[in-house]
Amino acid sequence: MPFSSQFSIPNAMKIATWNINGVKARIDNLLHWLEESSPDIACLQEIKSVDELFPRMEIEALGYHVETHGQKGFNGVAILSKKTPDEVTRGLPGDDSDEQSRFIQAQFSTDQGVLRVVSLYLPNGNPVDTEKYPYKLSWMKRLNSWAEEQLALEEPLILAGDYNIIPEPKDAETPAAWVNDALFLRTSRVLFRELENLGFSDAFRATTDADKSYSFWDYQAGAWQKNNGIRIDHLMLSPEAADLLETVDIEKHTRGWEKPSDHVPVVITLKNAF
């Protein structure tokens, strides 16, 4: 199927992030969602697949270009787009020894310039008394350093993904249960706040102060049925991208599907400035 390298959108551009929790296990749900929601760009995390085994043919049959940065059994990120990116880079700069597949960036030509979109899967960091938590903090510092450099380009940039960060108490149904968790520890949240202080906007919080709006519900203890969730999937927007933001939607109905991911898609629309 031929792809174009340039977006030309009649109304708005739709960009989504979704931790799919295993693309091969959820391929039917993913295909249904792509047809139902029809995002222009979809950022996936935890694809849990090496690049050569990613089910690209089924996705391409729906009209999407596929770029992946995978590894066997865990982690892995992907960007699906209705248009072909001009450039794709894999891996977060700053540590050549880091072999975990958690970062992919695609650059697109638009009618009015460049749009850059990142799909990222920030480390969980638990248990906090192991090497996993220092790795999480180090990864966040690298992300912030890289993101600060990108702001100098003064281009629309979207950092979309599973951040494994609960930004505020109202982003959890039971904040007390997370006090000692890497997702909610003060040091973790301070680094997330540093990203905001650089000039990046949390798309969801830019549009609403609502509580009880979550993107993740554990499979255990009836968390979904009780709405015992947390909001850890975020789209962080550069000032140029934030200026284009129109709407944000958490598509929580997908959590009720058969064999669901424990995350749901978070979708933004950008006004027609492309």
Q: Which sequence positions are flagged as catalytic?
A: 121, 162
Handedness of CA 184, 144, 141, 196 (dihedral sign): negative
β-strands 113-121, 216-217 pairing: unpaired
Rounded distance between C-alpha atoms, residue 84 and residue 58, angstroms: 17
Task: Return the residue matching tokens 């690209």.
Answer: 56
Rounded distance between C-alpha atoms, residue 122 and residue 135, angstroms: 10
* CB-CB neighbours of 154 under 10 Å: 11
Residue 72: its H or E element: none
Task: Return the residue matching tokens 């909001």.
Answer: 231
